[in-house]
Amino acid sequence: MDVIREQGIGFLGSRLKRLGERMQAGAARVTADAGLPVQPAHMAFLAALDGEARTIGQLVQAVGISQPGVTRAIGQLVGLGLARSEQGEDQRQRTISLTPAGEAVLVRAKVHVWPQVEDAARLLLGAEADGFMAQIARLEAALTATPIDVLAARARTDTLIIHEYTDALAHHFRDINAEWIGTMFSLEATDRDVLDNPRERIVETGGAILFVEARGLGIVGAGALQRAGDGGLELTKMGVREHARGLKAGEFLLAALIERARAMDADPFYLLTNARCATAIHLYEKLGFRHDAGIMARYGARYARCDVAMRYLPPTPAPALS
């Protein structure tokens, strides 16, 4: 099992890092066979210092890695006697240059290492070599313009997706609701009837069932709108899987159910629950439900566990400015 490969493009950075480490391990053996005292990570700095002294800042720009990484690599080359650090004309900066020993290592790398590693890379890539390098260049330019965290933030609105009821999703409706009801209470006969027959008891009687999918986790929540015989509409059988709590999937799903209920133009639009469901009740209140004694008297006997009844009150439009 290759976890990084199986996770696909979302693990692209890890996969490229792993690929780079494998290639550098092979390049290190080529370098050692050539008798050079450096590592593949040093090669870019040798190339950047070829015939030219540079400051640390200039090396950061030339190699494209962080200043701490550049400082660490240069310190290693200085320790090997292959580079020197000297005070520049600007007293606030030091310049880095190759020593004669460093220049000799550079020459040997150009002859005995770089051509062999390049040929090996072309063998790996075949006819796609130039196209692959062009794609790498486009990727680097795109990341320079827009970092991956910014791109991820832009895509975050698609993390949660609403799905309509299909028979293929019916088992999620049962399992999600059986999970929370069975954990907090016990399944009543009316629960089993609806969960075992969602199409007949809800969809075909003019109601609706919606599901929420969290990308990467699949279907994590479900909720229903069930027609009452007197023209009312009940928000019922709404739950979110335990492992998906904290993603705001419940709020996302509830907002979609409220929008659907308002389009169905039923009155009253209500729900029945239990005071033990404090977190859910807080969410209901947040999105417009209010405790209602009339709803309790009218519908509360439906469930033995019901001790809270709420009615949805649409937000009052702001007065028009004259």
Domain contains 243: yes
The whole model's pTM is what? 0.60
Domain contains 322: no
pLDDT per residue as tens digits for the range 177-230:
999 999 999 999 989 999 999 999 999 999 999 999 998 899 999 999 999 988
Q: The domain containing residue 231 runs over which residues?
A: 159-312
Query: What does the buried/exposed string (b/e) look like for 82-92 if buried means 16 or more CB atoms within 10 Å of the residue's CB?
Result: bbbeeeeeeee
148 and 166 in a common domain: no
Average pLDDT value over all residues in the chain: 92
59 and 169 in a common domain: no
207 and 296 in a common domain: yes
Per the structure, how many domains does the chain have?
2
197 and 70 in a common domain: no
Nearest CA to 237 out of 266, 206, 276, 194 is that of 194
- CA atoms of 316 and 318, how far apart (whole Å): 6
- CA atoms of 204 and 170, how far apart (whole Å): 14
- CA atoms of 265 and 173, how far apart (whole Å): 24
CATH of the domain at 54: 1.10.10.10
224 and 82 in a common domain: no
pLDDT of 90 > 80? The answer is no
Cα distances (Å, whole numbers) of residue 251 to 42, 184, 239, 269, 310:
52, 20, 11, 17, 17
- CA atoms of 254 and 264, how far apart (whole Å): 15
pLDDT per residue as tens digits for the range 49-86:
999 999 999 999 999 999 999 999 999 999 999 999 99
218 and 102 in a common domain: no
pLDDT of 322 > 60? The answer is no
Domain contains 26: yes
